[in-house]
Amino acid sequence: MKKSIIFVALLFLSLRAAVAAPPKDTCIACHAALGGDLAKPASQFEVDVHHQAGLRCADCHGGDPSDDSMNAMSHAKGFRGAPKKNQIPEFCARCHADATYMHRFNPQMRVDQLSEYLTSVHGKRLKQGDTRVAACVDCHGVHNILAVSDTRAPVYPTNVASTCARCHADAAHMKGFNIPTDQFALYEKSVHAQTLAGGDTSAPTCSTCHGNHGATPPGVGSVANVCGTCHVMNEQLFDKSPHQAAFAKMGLPGCVQCHSNHEIVRPTDAWVGTGPQSACTTCHTPGDKGYGAAQAMLADLTHLDSSLTRAAEVLNVAERAGMEVSGPKVELAGAQEDLVKARVDVHTFDAAAVRKLTDSGVEIAAKSYQAGVAALRERDYRRKGLGLALIAIVLAISGLYLKIRQMESGDSIGHRGDVERKAREV
Amino acid sequence: MATLYRKTLNWMDERFGAGSVEEFLRHKTVPVTRHILWYYLGGMTLFLFIIQVLTGILLLLYYRPTPNDAFESVQFVMTQVRFGWLIRSVHSWSANLMIFTAFLHMFSVYFLKAYRKPRELTWISGMLLFFIVLGFGFSGYLLPWNTLAFFATKVGTEMAGSVPGIGKWLLVFLRGGQEVTGATLTRFFGFHIAVLPGLATLLLAIHLFLVQKLGMSVPPSVERAVAEGRTSLRNMPFFPNFLLRDMIGWYAALGVLGGLAAIFPWELGTKADAFAAAPAGIRPEWYFLFTFQTLKYLPARILFLEGEFAGILGFSVGAVVWVMVPFLDRRIGFGRLTRVFTGLGVFVIGYIIVLSALALR
């Protein structure tokens, strides 16, 4: 009886252990023990997004992770081993191009990476046997792949440019491709890179303009489309402007002609006009229509900008003096918007259209300036009033003091008298 | 002029015995001691309260207590109404000065042991008035419906929500719901212009009656010196000697208020937006800073209590002890100081100053 009880207990415990223990994974156990490069996949896989999703080595590499022997890696057990470079896209796509499978993990997951990749320069060259180009693992990592939303991931927006730069800024690696290697250095100076570094992950990085899996350089004709995905108004105005046809005729690349491609710095008003920083004078010369329009647009933008600065300065002084000028400040913000719109309207290259907006802004700025001046006048009025009131108060206090002195002179009640004496007098 | 005054007094005396008031005033005296400066603080607080009532009534002519209109109506007062900026700034500055002088008045009474028999009820009515003054400050702060006030009220009502026993009920009662909304504004307006003024008037009447009935307290040290024959107690007639001195202080207060209003007009800020993120470093008005900072330092749990709950419980017990001091400080008698309670007062002042300074860092 006693033996039966022990047997049942042991059986119960062993069954429980079998249910609770994770499934056996000999891949991790053996590779971790091997040390060196062979141990790396085992140690790195811990943080990998696939591991987090519950996948194991065998899900990609095949084999039998429950087998302790080398037979675990036999072809008979489905072992596929490590793919060669040119096999990697299809290797990953076995799952990532399978919508039914991928939607088990994330219903919104894209499954077009392989088809996009095959349209890219990287994909095309890899198909041709050029293994120097990037495949999935070159950007995402191998056994330590992190989710795109993970800030440590090489494909997180703030890391994309440096990931691309690992190859594209490496002159030795890029030798033979006949493309420049200064894109990253130029991009780092751009307003896009600065905005991204400031924490705005919606700011463009390499993949925003070139695509990610389907990475390809935009052609001359499609540059405006690329920029226009964000700068919609600028693109529409440019397309309606006389420059659109002229640029196309001359084979000039739209936006890039004035703004550059990777080194897209913050434009200033001096880019229009005819000064030394002008982009207009690249083509336009004194006497032609465009030259006059450039001069007029710069003059109007400068006038509005200086009007806004003057009004903001006086309102700030009034506000620091404690005056309530929130109303004029809100109106001035409207005029600031007019300046922004006018700067966008420069892409019409129509001086009259720009002037319409700048005139409206200048009018508001003038009103705001007057409101600020009035507030400062009111401040001075209050201070004069305060001065007069303080004089009246000091006179009243002096009168009271003299009255007390007069009342208590020769009379000791104020300081030494007692109530009985006062009462006797009363 | 004197004849007209006499005639008016006689006319009133014949009808309701007004002469007895004059008789009372003629005999009312104030002890002249080296602590006499502190005796002016009650009158100063009362003067500032009167300023609050007068400027508050003027603000009511334009103020509209709804979330859509409150901010704009105050903005209108500040920018469009003639001298509206002065009335609103004086109201705000005077409120803060009143709370400050109420603090000083309370601590001066405490350290001069003026709460001792027979003035226990004067102390209690004064303390209740003090809490009402804090209530005025708390409810009035929200009324302009600006961002700072909105979020400070959120923080403040959350603190009220931790009051032992009635916290959850109190939070809903104050807010008019679970969140700070237009319902909260309407309630705070009601508290500020009806409930609290009514209570304050009643308590003020009791407080002033007791002060007149019992007269000014003589500090224990002076009482002892008189008893030992080292000095004689000197007195000053209240009317007009003390009152004229009071008036000097009130004029000076007017000058200070005018200066503050003209040079540092009370700012309005931006309109409250319930969906906006709370501005960084949000904190309540200066007189609640020490409680706010204390609650920040408390751990999440203290023994079996939630940290915030324990903190509010501590402050509640502290307030009850403070109000009941006349009955706890039993050894205070004829000319005898009780060091424990003096030490407690010093600790409370030090605590308030240090914690408030830490909150302002």
Domain carrying residue B216: 21-271+280-360
The proportion of chain A whose per-residue pLDDT surpasses 70, expressed as a percent, equals 89
Question: What residues in A contact B233, CB-CB < 8 Å?
Answer: 418
Contact A404/B244, CB-based, under 8 Å?
Answer: yes
pLDDT at A15 over 70: no
- Helices B196-214 and B40-60, packing angle to 10 deg: 150
Chain B residue with minimal CA distance to A330? B270
Which residues, at least 6 apart from B47, have a Cβ–Cβ distance to it below 8 Å? B246, B249, B250, B253
pLDDT at A60 over 50: yes
Output the domain CATH number for residue B170: 1.20.810.10
Tell me if chain A has a CB within 8 Å of the CB of B22. no
Q: What pLDDT, on a 0 to 100 scale, did the predictor assign at position A424?
A: 40
CA–CA distance, B1 with A424 (Å, rounded to integer): 26
- DSSP state string for A231-269: -HHHHHHHHHSHHHHHHHHHT--THHHHH-SS--PPP-G
How close, in Å, is residue A316 to chain B by CA atoms?
14
Q: What pLDDT, on a 0 to 100 scale, did the predictor assign at position A411?
A: 57
Q: What pLDDT, on a 0 to 100 scale, did the predictor assign at position B262?
A: 92
- Residue A223 structure tokens: 């540059």
CA–CA distance, A262 with A403 (Å, rounded to integer): 84
Question: What ipTM was predicted for this assembly?
Answer: 0.85
Q: What pLDDT, on a 0 to 100 scale, did the predictor assign at position A16?
A: 54
Q: Which of A327, A400, A426 sits opposite B248 (nearest CB)?
A: A400
Tell me if chain A has a CB within 8 Å of the CB of B307. no
Indicate whether B248 belongs to any domain: yes
How close, in Å, is residue A324 to chain B by CA atoms?
7
Q: Which of A324, A386, A394 sits opposite B262 (nearest CB)?
A: A386
pLDDT at A280 over 80: yes
Indicate whether B14 belongs to any domain: no
Q: How high is the mean pLDDT of chain A?
A: 88
Indicate whether B6 belongs to any domain: no
> Kind and range of the H or E element at A58?
helix A57-61
pLDDT at A425 over 50: no
How close, in Å, is residue A196 to chain B by CA atoms?
23
Contact B26/A426, CB-based, under 8 Å?
Answer: yes
Chain A residue with minimal CA distance to B27? A423
Contact A386/B85, CB-based, under 8 Å?
Answer: no
Q: What pLDDT, on a 0 to 100 scale, did the predictor assign at position A421?
A: 46
Pick from B73, B136, B149: which is nearest to B102 by CA? B136
Q: Which of A323, A324, A400 sits opposite B75 (nearest CB)?
A: A324
Contact B240/A408, CB-based, under 8 Å?
Answer: no
Indicate whether B16 belongs to any domain: no
Q: What pLDDT, on a 0 to 100 scale, did the predictor assign at position A385?
A: 95
Mutate to test the interface with B, among A315, A326, A407, A424 (most CBs of B within 10 A): A326
**Burial zone of B322 (CB within 10 Å; 0-12 exposed, 13-18 middle, 19+ buried):** middle
Amino acid letter, A251: G
Among the listed ranges A230-239, A288-297, B167-176, B280-289, which one has the minimum average pLDDT value? B280-289
What integer is the mean pLDDT of B338-358? 93
CA–CA distance, A59 with A72 (Å, rounded to integer): 13
The model's pLDDT over B236-250, given as tens digits with 9 standing for 90+, comes to: 999 899 999 999 999
Contact B241/A326, CB-based, under 8 Å?
Answer: no
- Residue A387 structure tokens: 């001065």
Mutate to test the interface with A, among B216, B235, B239, B245 (most CBs of A within 10 A): B235
Cβ-Cβ pairs closer than 8 A, A with B, add up to 83
- DSSP state string for B329-343: -TT--TT---HHHHH
How close, in Å, is residue A402 to chain B by CA atoms?
11
Contact B323, B124 (CB under 8 A): yes
Contact A407/B265, CB-based, under 8 Å?
Answer: no
